[in-house]
Amino acid sequence: MTATSAQTLAAPARARTAAAGAALRRKQGFQHGGWFVAPFLALFALFVIWPLLRGVYLSLTDANITGEGADFVGLDNYREALRDPLMWDSLGHSASFTAMVVPCITVLAFLLAMLAHHIERGKWLWRLCFFAPFLLPSTVAGNLWQWLFNPGTGMVNHVLGLQTPWLTDKSYAMLALVVMTLWWTVGFSFLLYLAALQGIPGHLYEAARLDGANAWHRAVHITLPMLRNITGLVVALQILASLQVFDQAVVMQDFGPGPEESTRTFVQFTLEEGFTSYRVGYASAISVVFFVIIAAVALARMWLLRNREESAR
């Protein structure tokens, strides 16, 4: 047998040995790494998976807040929820809040990030001012703006020379909630945009200047396209967060549903059914419906992003 033939026969054996060694290393790595992941998996199962499964089970019963005497009712809670006008009204309030907040906060965060990125003097102070409200607890921010919107002593009416009942009129209550949310949460999206702006290569702008592009052309043809991915992320995060609005709504309305129930959100309605009406089974069914809606929004965002990436190829 020639040396070439021997090498040819030995090549598959070496490949099998290398594959076996790689598989053994992966197995050993998983065994060692599994101990590091185990605490997280245990806590995730305890505080996420188990409550989720428990909630689905309760949604199929007529359980009350005491947890005693829960009878299996099947899909009756879901049928009632789909016919409940209060549930659809609260969902509509959350959807209208989302429709107002998401575009405004996306544009405002982008403009503030552009301003903070291009200012030379006192740059750290501007960044601190834009981001600082996001660090406040929801109760502090809600109580602050509840005082600012007070029709008699509030600063908003005093500065604007108005006597608008911001929190007691259904025509203005949701608008007041949107304004407060913009001031309170824009800092997070601002930070994302600012980090993305700092990652854009400077030579792109230099080349555009040499070609005679003005500031508007540079923003439209360089900045906005380079921020496309971060804009999609900001929009997705804001949609998911806005649909789950709760804290600021109940704090600004003193834990009530607002004038003529105009600011009762979906999460607030679920809380009222579970802990005010003591209908835990029905509240669990509503929560499952809301989970399905949130999951559908997240999956739609992933589908659109994947289609956009495939079309870009």
Per residue in 84-98, pLDDT (tens digit) is 999 999 999 999 999
- What are the tens digits of pLDDT across the range 123-163? 888 889 999 999 999 999 999 999 999 888 889 998 888 88
By the 8 A CB rule, do 193 and 227 touch?
yes
Tokens 């709760």 appear where?
Answer: 246
By the 8 A CB rule, do 117 and 194 touch?
yes
- What are the tens digits of pLDDT across the range 15-34? 566 565 555 566 555 556 67
Report the alpha-carbon distance of residue 81 to residue 77 in Å, rounded.
6
- What are the tens digits of pLDDT across the range 257-302? 888 888 999 999 999 998 888 889 999 999 999 999 988 888 888 8
User: Exposed, middle or buried by CB within 10 Å (0-12, 13-18, 19+), for 84?
Assistant: middle
Report the alpha-carbon distance of residue 234 to residue 108 in Å, rounded.
12
List b or e across 204-229, with b for residues whose CB sees 16 or more CB atoms inside 10 angstroms. Answer: ebeebeeeebeeeebeeebbeeebee
DSSP state of 61: B
What confidence category does residue 6 fall into, taking pLDDT thresholds of 50, 70 and 90?
very low
Q: Computed from CA positions of residues 107, 109, 112, 113, in that sequence, does the dihedral angle turn out positive or negative?
A: negative
Report the alpha-carbon distance of residue 77 to residue 269 in Å, rounded.
15
Report the alpha-carbon distance of residue 303 to residue 309 in Å, rounded.
10
